[in-house]
Amino acid sequence: MVLNTLHQQNIIHRDIKPSNIIKRECDNQFVLIDFGAVKQLDTNSQFPEQPTQTKIITSEYLPLEQWAGKLSFNSDIYALGITAAQFLTGSHRSEFKRDDKDRLVLTEAIALAIC
């Protein structure tokens, strides 16, 4: 919900990872923290991906396009997906299988975690 609200405001978090998601004690809700790396996109731009010079240090949660300096809302979605897969499986991202094009294959790991 927070991520959707940020994206509706044309803001990208850019540093979603397990240590930036905490469980709030008062209501047991998971919340996103650490907004120090947020970036607001230019709403007047005709390009959905915008270049950025800032590299965020937590590289294992970055999609390739963010490494290339192209920023989009999909960058946050990718990082949230990797984080969710880690929460579901209990495995670190480095332990996930890869296909022949070096892409992460998460379906088997998540299916095993759910069953």
Just list the catalytic residues. 15
Dist CA 37 CA 67 (whole Å) = 15
DSSP state of 107: H
What is the token pair recorded at 28? 């047991």
Distance CA 13, CA 36 (A): 8
Kindly report the length of the chain.
115
Q: How far apart are CA 8 and CA 62, in angstroms?
A: 21
